[in-house]
Each structure stands twice: as structure tokens, then as C-alpha cells.
Structure 1
Amino acid sequence: MPDPSPRHEIAHLGHVELFTPEPARSLDFFVRVLGLTENGTDGDSVYLRTWDDYEHHSLKLTAAKTSGVGRTALRTTSAEALERRVKALEERGLGVGWVDGDTGIGPTYLFHDPDGHELEIYWETERYRPPEHLRPALKNQAQAYPGRGVGVRRLDHVNYLAQDAAANGQFVCDALGGRVTEQIRLDNGVISGQWTHFAQKSYDLVYTTDWTRSTGRLHHIAFATDTREDILRAADIALDNDVHIETGPHKHAIQQTFFLYVYEPGGNRIELCNPAARLIFAPDWEPVTWTEAERAKGQAWGLKTIESFHTHGTPPVV
């Protein structure tokens, strides 16, 4: 029986690991400023969750010598889908192998994208069961709203830096069943950015060109807020807590996301976004391509793209 289409075999972005050389300050940022909830520890790592993600954790914060991204976890739509994606990854020579699942997830297959970022896929998962003081009144909500800091609702997407954005985007499509929703094509024909998705949310994994020609680096991870007004409030909260605001609040032209970019104490860029992503219903969606001239106009309402957006990534290049 032929292997079915890989489309819809990855359900969603599960969680991401972030490295920080400032573990205590980074933890304070994510808990007190962004409003995540601690849900266990493992060695040098702390597990954190947003209030409406249904799994054990949304973020694994790991103490390290430098900043950057660790493993990104993707949940498949079934055990059979997991096996099929493992086969596809092994055929492309980018598989590492089966590893013990992180806290809260079952058997996990580790692999690399063409740029060297670590990713893993899994099916079995532990649904979060809140303690009594975090039990929500509405049974269809994962956790009571914390009422603390920004109060981000869920993990939204990861934006990687890569030597070749198109090659990595193609890998996501071919091996994992993703689809490109929007992209940037420079005047020389090079694709400098691709936004890919797995389900109806318009982007989950993003690849943009690393102008340092380094590999395996992070541009940012993003958390979705409940409302656009939360982004405005987040800017004031950042001011009150001496958090560096890089750019925003404003609206992206690509994906139309209302955004605020800040740096957490470890140096990693964090985006707070709403609408978290547009929804793509068309089964025959064609990628929207932005030209170099269109991107030179800046963001949706004319805000020029800040220079550090093209130069800052983690870990820093020495």
C-alpha cells in the first residue's frame, strides 16, 4: 500500500526548548512578566506552560552557557502518522533516532532540519490536569487564567534563522507535510523567508535568512495573547519591568499579525502576537509572495523594519 500524503500528519507545534545563560532572571520573566505557570523541573530545566495549552508544557527553559533554541517538538496526528514521518525522515538522512520522551510525552523521534536545528516528533502525550487552585470554571479550558503579567494564552510559532530558507521550508513540506503560506523573494530570486503551517493556523515554523551564514540559530519564539489589547498592555508591562522592547506594538504586513518584540534576560527574542495567526481554509492555497520592494516599505502601517531584526539572533555570533 503506497505511503499516503504527508499532509495533516503533523497536528501542531507542541513545545520548544530555550537555552538561557541567565536561568533565574529568564524564569522570572516567563512566570511573572509573561504569566506562564511552572509545571516541574528536570536537572537544569524548568517546564513552563501557558494557560490554554493542553499538554504538560509549552516551554522547556534550560540553563546553558549561551542563549539559543534547543529541541522543538511537534505532535503527530496518530501513532501511524508518527511511523510514516519517521520513515520519511530516515529516507532523507536527517534522522537521529528514537529517544526517551521528555516529561509529559511518549516515544520520541529526534531529527535535524537541513540547517541543523533539532526537532522531534511524538504521538503519546500527557494532558494537563490542573491542581485545585488552577482548576478552571469552564471545563473546556486547560487551566484557570492566571491573572499575572501579560497572561499569554498559548505557544504560537518558532522562527528559525537558516543559511537557506527555501531548502528548509521545502524540507518541512516534503518530510513533515507542511505547506508554505507566505514567502519573501528577493530581486535576485533568492527566497529569504518562508512561513509554513501544518493545520489551519497560517504558520507554525518559519525560516528566514541568517545573514551571518551561521547555522542552527533562532530568530524568535512567539506566544499568542488573547486579544490585541493584550499586546498594548504588554508594552506597558515591559516598560514597568525594564524589559527591552525591540519593536512594536505594530502590525506585520506578512500574516497581518499584531506584534510586540522583546528580549528576555537570556538574550532570546520573544514575540507576543495577536491575531496569533490567520486561518487558512483553502485546500489549494497558493503561497503569497512578497517582493523586495514591497518589504522595503516596512510593516503594514509603514513602520520601518528595525535593523536589529536582521542582525540579532541567538546564540550570538562571536
Structure 2
Amino acid sequence: MSHPHDPDRRRDIAHVGPIELYTPVLEESRDFFVNVLALREVHRDDTSVYLHTWDDYQSWTIRLVRRDAAGIGRTYLRAAGPEARDRLAGQIEGTGPGPHRVVDDVRGLGEVFLFADPDGHEFGLYWDVEWYRPDASDTPALKNQAAAYPGRGANLRRLDHVNYLTADVPATSAFLSDVLGARCTEQIVKDDGGPQAVWYSVGNKTYDLVYTEDWTGTRGRLHHVAFATDTREEILRAADVCLDAGVHIETGPHKHAIQQTFFLYVWEPGGNRIEICNAGARLILAPDWKTISWTREERAKGQAWGLRTIDTFHTHGTPVVPPAS
């Protein structure tokens, strides 16, 4: 079951920061994010490429890392301040799964406190950060914007959320609530009342970190990474852009019932599921928000406008788990 959120508790996490995504086809994945989704390459090394969404104030948004199998690497969380970072790190040390260590070699970040959730997904908590500095080719006209609007491809503005697959939804849910101080805004419940999927918010967005039960029982996998556009219309345009680029469109455009997110799901060349979404219109302003629960019967009605959920949405995750023989 979800854990109640104390409205008087300090919020020690400001927001989800940059992420790492593994891909076996680094250059093909890079071209997809740059040419189709309109991210900007800002740095590269022997094994990875750093990309930036146009209105991310930080120096990079996603690091594509060459690996034999697709999947999620580290998710970095920015603390609300230096004291909040130390306070939360101490809390994780005392109650969270180990091991933990501090590194200072992450590009564009200061000291990073590394830890894992109960399912084994890696996280990094940080405060010091290098801000994005546009050059002459992407300097915005308005100085309150990180970079110029690209006006091409999907025009992704920012990272929105990460949806992880987990072998133990209750354990990860408790960790998010009790240790990280996030709050569960919505959930899918099984017939016995236990959670099958949970949507957690670390700020005023409706959700930032999502955990869905992994039907294979595997630990540490990814369901999808989501990026936000300004409008629904840009998602419709993104569908045409992906169609012409030969990108695999899994489902959408359509609207979820849960969280009311307007969505398009595609698979990038490495096999990771990417959601292009418009979720920012809904905010959770109530400090005493009550978790919304969705039952199997309610989910059987399909998405908000009746679209049936495609089978691969329940079966595909990265790394891919071969079917049992």
C-alpha cells in the first residue's frame, strides 16, 4: 500500500536532474535524440554522448552510454540545498539499501552521493551544478530561457519523468515515501489492495518517479523515459516526424486516464521506450493531497478516450528479458 505523506515534512529534493541511458547503438541513438527529438549534443567521450534539452538550466539532460544492452543508468536528483543534500544523504545512509559512496567525477555536477533504490536502480544526489551556457548558435532572445527554441523535430523542452520496472512495488514505494520524502499522487491497486504501480512526486508536478511491477520478476529494469513538450499539438507533430524518420511508434498519440498525460510512445534505436508527453498542465498544489487509486476494472476501460493499451506496453522493458523456454 502507499505511504501517507506528511505535509509538514521538509522537501529535500528539488527535482529530477540529468539521467543516463544505456544503448548498444550509441551513434544511432544519438542521431535519434538530436535529429528527431531536437536535443543538442554538448559533449562526448569514448563511451558516451551528452545531450541537452533546450530549456534545461543545467549543462546536460541525458547521457547516452554505450553498453551491450539497453536500459537505465543513474538518475540524478538535485537536492533543495547543500544542507538538504547532507540531511537526505544521512537519512539514506541510515535506512536505505547500500552500498553508498560519494564521487566528484560526474560531468557538470559537484560531489554526488550515490545510492540505489531497493530494486537496484542507481541514483545520485547532488547540489552543486554547472549551468548551461549557450553559444552564438543557440543564444535565446529572452534571457529567462536556457537556450533558443530549436523549431525542429519534436522540440523537447525538458526531461519530465522516469518510469522504472521493479520486482517489488511495496518496497520501492516505501523507500520513496519514508526515505526520500516523495509523495504518492496516484497508484494502480491489485484485487488484494496492494500497489501494482505507483506515481510519486518530489515537488509540485503531478509525478516525477514512477514504479511499475515487472511481470518477469527482474530487478533494475526500465519501462520508459519521458520528455515534455509545450503543447499537445507538438506531440501530434512529433508523431509525423517519427513516422517520416522510420521510428517505431508503439502507441498514441492519446491521453492517459491516470495523471491525464497526453502521450506518444516510441522506441529509440537502442530499444529503450521513450515517451513524448504534455503533463505539465496539472500541478499538485494541495499539501494534503490524497492518493488516487485505480482498480483493475477501471483500468480495463482503457485510456482516457477508450484506446486499449497495446500488449507490448506491459511486456517490453529494457534490458530485454528473453521469454522463458
Q: Which residue of 2 aligns with 1:192?
A: 196
Gap change, CA 1:297 and 1:88, over 3 Å in 2: same
Q: Which residue of 2 aligns with 1:13?
A: 16
Determine the C-alpha separation between the residues in 1 that align with 2:185 and 2:96.
26
Q: Which residue of 1 aligns with 2:263?
A: 259
Does residue 171 (structure 1) correspond to residue 175 (structure 2)? The answer is: yes
Secondary structure at 1:171 match in 2:
helix
1:172 CA drift (Å): 1.0
1:6 CA drift (Å): 5.2
Secondary structure at 2:137 match in 1:
helix
Determine the C-alpha separation between the residues in 2 that align with 1:277 and 1:44.
37
| Deviates further, 191-200 or 100-109 | 100-109
1:51 CA drift (Å): 0.3
Q: 1:285 aligns with which of 281, 289, 310?
A: 289
| Deviates further, 272-281 or 172-181 | 272-281
Instruction: Identify unmatched segments of 5+ residues in structure 1.
Output: none
Q: 1:66 aligns with which of 26, 51, 69?
A: 69
Secondary structure at 1:134 match in 2:
coil
1:45 CA drift (Å): 1.0
Determine the C-alpha separation between the residues in 1 that align with 2:35 and 2:219.
32
Determine the C-alpha separation between the residues in 2 that align with 1:234 and 1:169.
33
Whether the 8 Å CA contact 1:5–1:177 is kept in 2: the answer is no
1:189 CA drift (Å): 2.2
For 1:85, give the aligned amino acid: L
Determine the C-alpha separation between the residues in 2 that align with 1:27 and 1:190.
39
Does residue 154 (structure 1) correspond to residue 168 (structure 2)? The answer is: no
Q: Deviation digits for residues 168-215 of structure 1, max 9, x if unmatched?
A: 122111111100000010112221000001111110000000000000
Q: Which residue of 2 aligns with 1:52?
A: 55
For 2:63, give the aligned amino acid: K
Q: Which residue of 2 aligns with 1:32?
A: 35
1:5 CA drift (Å): 6.5
Q: Which residue of 1 aligns with 2:134?
A: 130
For 2:15, give the aligned amino acid: H
For 2:139, give the aligned amino acid: R
Whether the 8 Å CA contact 2:138–2:147 is kept in 1: the answer is yes
| Deviates further, 244-253 or 144-153 | 144-153
Q: Which residue of 1 aligns with 2:220?
A: 216
Whether the 8 Å CA contact 2:96–2:175 is kept in 1: the answer is no
For 1:244, give the aligned amino acid: H
Q: Deviation digits for residues 253-303 of structure 1, max 9, x if unmatched?
A: 000000000000000000000134620000100100111100111100000
Secondary structure at 1:132 match in 2:
coil
Q: Which residue of 1 aligns with 2:319?
A: 315
Secondary structure at 1:233 match in 2:
helix
Determine the C-alpha separation between the residues in 2 that align with 1:176 and 1:43.
34
Secondary structure at 1:250 match in 2:
strand
Secondary structure at 2:250 match in 1:
strand
Q: 2:231 aligns with which of 227, 236, 250?
A: 227
Determine the C-alpha separation between the residues in 1 that align with 2:291 and 2:96.
27
Determine the C-alpha separation between the residues in 2 that align with 1:184 and 1:31.
34
C-alpha RMSD over aligned residues = 1.3
Secondary structure at 2:309 match in 1:
coil
Determine the C-alpha separation between the residues in 2 that align with 1:160 and 1:179.
16
Determine the C-alpha separation between the residues in 1 that align with 2:167 and 2:281.
25
Determine the C-alpha separation between the residues in 1 that align with 2:308 and 2:128.
44
Secondary structure at 1:94 match in 2:
coil
For 2:21, give the aligned amino acid: L
Whether the 8 Å CA contact 1:267–1:314 is kept in 2: the answer is yes
For 1:44, give the aligned amino acid: T
TM-score, reference length from structure 2 = 0.95
Q: Which residue of 1 aligns with 2:3?
A: none
Secondary structure at 1:13 match in 2:
strand
TM-score, reference length from structure 1 = 0.97
Instruction: Identify unmatched segments of 5+ residues in structure 2.
Output: 1-6
Whether the 8 Å CA contact 2:26–2:66 is kept in 1: the answer is yes
For 2:48, give the aligned amino acid: S
For 1:15, give the aligned amino acid: P
